Amino acid sequence: MLFWLAPALIALAVALVLLRALNARRGETGLTAGASDMAVYRDQLKEVDRDLARGTLTDAEAEAVRIEVSRRLLDADRRTARASDTSEGRVWPAAAVVVMALLAGSFLIYARVGAPGVADLPMTERLTDLDTAARARPSQAEAEARARPFL
């Protein structure tokens, strides 16, 4: 019974890692791709104001750049909203399918490759069998004598 606790804990740990990976919607910075794009565009708008104040842009150029960056900002906002609407609720069913497939696959592999019907072999029996095998082992001279015809 104690054996089954270890595979169950390992399967649970793997399932949690997979669920976390499937549920991760944020990158290392904590921003989604759309939010990151929007932050860049907002920064570009601030930079246009700084360039205008320094005199590196004319009023007409600054207005044209503001319009273009604002258009991109709105487009990024729409894409972010659309992506969050379509992806909501799809992660957990996919995660459940992955976890169930993982568990089913592991039990099927064990049933095919493992030995689920074999009885336990207590440590005392294992040590007794090991001792018996060690005593029945031939000496070095006997092993060499048996091997001579083949050499």
DSSP per-residue codes, 105-137: HHHHHHHHHS-TTPPP--HHHHHHHHHHHHHHS
pLDDT at 29: 47
| pLDDT per position as a tens digit, 17-45 | 877 776 665 444 455 677 788 889 999 99
pLDDT at 83: 67
Distance from the Cα of residue 109 to its chain's centroid = 21
pTM of the model: 0.40
| pLDDT per position as a tens digit, 108-131 | 898 888 887 788 889 999 999 999
Where does the pLDDT of residue 135 fall: very low under 50, low under 70, confident under 90, or very high at 90 and above?
very high
